[in-house]
């Protein structure tokens, strides 16, 4: 497989997703609030990304798996947010525990300013 996947959220729910993507042969770049997840990512063959933007860079698909809407906003928006690194045409899949309005607002930012506004 040559498609790379950015993945933000390597907690209890994200890790099984990431492990399966790796088993399927995808290159996965991982970011999480907890820098301790870097060791887990390395042990399982994923690349650790120090920022959400770096996790999104070059990814055909970005997957977020986070516990709260505020976490999704934090990881997606801003100069180091995933939207700043996401390529035009890439797909964002949000599996987070979030709400409809939060997702719409972030999607609107993605279409306008690439998410660099706070």
Strand partners, 37: none
Verdict on whether the full-model pTM lies above 0.85: yes
pLDDT on residue 65: 97
Q: Degrees (nearest 5) of the Cα angle 99, 60, 22?
A: 90
The pLDDT score that the predictor gives to residue 77 is 95
pLDDT tens-place string over residues 38-85 = 999 999 999 999 999 999 999 999 999 999 999 999 999 988 999 999
CA distance 56 to 94: 13
* Residue 113's pLDDT band (cuts 50, 70, 90): low
- Whole-number Å distance between alpha carbons of 84 and 102: 18
Does the pLDDT of residue 111 top 80, yes or no?
no
């Amino acid at each position: 497989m040559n498609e790379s996947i950015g993945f933000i959220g390597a907690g209890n729910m994200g890790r099984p997703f990431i492990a399966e993507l790796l088993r399927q042969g995808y290159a996965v770049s991982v970011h999480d609030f907890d820098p301790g997840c870097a060791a887990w990512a390395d042990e399982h063959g994923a690349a650790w990304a120090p920022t959400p933007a770096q996790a999104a860079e070059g990814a055909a698909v970005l997957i977020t798996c986070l516990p709260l809407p505020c976490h999704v906003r934090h990881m997606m928006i801003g100069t180091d947010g995933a939207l700043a690194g996401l390529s035009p045409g890439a797909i964002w899949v949000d599996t987070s525990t979030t709400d409809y309005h939060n997702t719409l607002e972030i999607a609107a930012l993605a279409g306008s300013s690439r998410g660099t506004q706070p």
